[in-house]
């Protein structure tokens, strides 16, 4: 909420509607109160994996078709508790964090606050920010697809979003192949907002305390190291190309190295200055949420 209040590009009437939407978020954590009934799904050990997979796919299609014309069940989860992921659903204005993501490297009850805010904190902020990204912002607090933006604020949002598009467009992921800033815009806004929200939350959490150095790193450094650790991966060139063409998320390396270059707190944490490879001049950075 304090991030909305601090926005210098958004007018008061739109801020009021943004607060309304934020206040109406439904939060789902861990596992559902009501379990999905799979009793009619037949899995036969005598059949092949492929045949059982087809049977499961048919069951899920029929399950979805059975909901047509019926009231929306807002208690239903869009992911199983065993899924290492999270989501925001604009039509129900809900954020969901299954039990499986509440473990290292995303969440560690034995870790310090900075590490957890840099990992699961950014994930939480990311999903919250989806409610206000290029697609989520088209839905109101009640999941209706109606505009709640003034024309002026809408134009300013688009202008800022275009800067983020261009930052990713200029990244060459393979010789002659560039990232697609438009295709990944929603997820990049999610990362951008998540980083901003979670860093502020960490600062609020440790205010008045003196965490000191842990393993030689400050809280700010540990926050950003934790974020980068979440997205560390090995990936082939073929998979880079496939994901660039099909995945609305940016490649993991760019979720770190491109996103972080918009944050002065990142530069301050590691003493990054003009001339260093990660440096981005202040006038070229973008701040949306």
Residues 232 and 192 in one domain: yes
E strand or H helix at 122, and its extent? helix 122-130
Q: Tell whether pTM > 0.75.
A: yes
Distance CA 57, CA 54 (A): 5
For residue 89, the model assigns a pLDDT of: 96
289 is a domain residue = no
For residue 176, the model assigns a pLDDT of: 95
Distance CA 268, CA 75 (A): 43
For residue 55, the model assigns a pLDDT of: 96
Question: Is 94 in a helix, a strand, or coil?
Answer: strand
Task: Look up the domain containing 49 and give its range.
Answer: 35-74
For residue 2, the model assigns a pLDDT of: 86
Q: Domain count of the chain?
A: 2
131 is a domain residue = yes
Residues 95 and 216 in one domain: yes
What residues are labeled active site?
A: 127, 191
Cis before 36 (ω within 30): no
Residues 182 and 62 in one domain: no
Residues 119 and 208 in one domain: yes
Distance CA 76, CA 110 (A): 31
We report the CATH number of the domain holding residue 101 as 3.40.390.10
Distances (CA, A) of 244 to 88, 181, 227, 234: 22, 10, 21, 15
pLDDT truncated to tens, each residue of the chain (289 aa)?
Answer: 789 999 999 999 999 999 999 999 999 999 999 999 999 999 999 999 999 999 999 999 999 999 999 988 889 999 999 999 999 999 999 999 999 999 999 999 999 999 999 999 999 999 999 999 999 999 999 999 999 999 999 999 999 999 999 999 999 999 999 999 999 999 999 999 999 999 999 999 999 888 889 999 999 999 999 999 999 999 999 999 999 999 999 999 999 999 999 999 999 999 999 999 999 999 999 999 9
For residue 33, the model assigns a pLDDT of: 93
8 A C-beta contact, residue 289 and residue 160 = no
261 is a domain residue = yes
Strands of the chain (E only): list them. Answer: 26-30, 87-89, 94-98, 172-174, 177-178
For residue 139, the model assigns a pLDDT of: 96
Residues 41 and 136 in one domain: no
Return the structure tokens found at 218.
Answer: 């400050």
According to DSSP, the β-strands at 26-30 and 94-98 are: parallel
According to DSSP, the β-strands at 172-174 and 94-98 are: unpaired
DSSP string, 225-271: HHHHHHT-----HHHHHHHHHH-SSPPHHHHHHTGGGG-HHHHHHHT
253 is a domain residue = yes
Phi, psi angle pair for 4, to nearest 5°: -65, -45
For residue 72, the model assigns a pLDDT of: 83
163 is a domain residue = yes
């Amino acid at each position: 909420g304090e991030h909305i209040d601090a926005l210098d590009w958004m007018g008061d009437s739109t801020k009021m509607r943004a607060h309304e939407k934020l206040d109406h978020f439904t939060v789902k954590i861990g596992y559902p109160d009501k379990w999905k009934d799979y009793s009619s799904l037949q899995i036969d050990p005598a059949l092949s994996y492929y045949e059982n997979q087809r049977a499961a796919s048919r069951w899920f299609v029929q399950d979805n078709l059975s909901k047509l014309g019926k009231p929306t069940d807002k208690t239903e989860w869009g992911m199983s508790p065993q899924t290492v992921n999270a989501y925001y659903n604009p039509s129900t204005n809900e954020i969901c964090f299954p039990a499986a993501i509440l473990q290292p490297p995303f969440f560690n009850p034995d870790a310090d606050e900075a590490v957890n805010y840099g990992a699961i904190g950014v994930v939480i902020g990311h999903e919250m920010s989806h409610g206000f990204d290029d697609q989520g912002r088209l839905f109101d607090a009640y999941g209706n697809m109606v505009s709640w933006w003034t024309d002026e604020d809408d134009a300013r949002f688009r202008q800022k979003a275009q800067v983020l598009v261009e930052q990713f467009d200029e990244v060459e992921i393979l010789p002659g192949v560039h990232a697609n800033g438009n295709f990944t815009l929603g997820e990049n806004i999610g990362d951008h907002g998540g980083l901003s929200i979670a860093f502020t939350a960490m600062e609020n959490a440790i205010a008045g305390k003196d965490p000191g150095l842990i393993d030689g790193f400050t809280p700010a450094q540990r926050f950003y190291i934790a974020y980068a650790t979440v997205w560390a991966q090995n990936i082939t060139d073929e998979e880079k190309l496939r994901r660039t063409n099909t995945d609305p998320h940016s490649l993991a390396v760019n979720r770190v190295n491109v996103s972080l270059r918009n944050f002065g707190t990142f530069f301050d944490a590691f003493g990054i200055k003009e001339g260093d490879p990660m440096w981005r001049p202040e006038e070229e950075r973008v701040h949306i949420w």
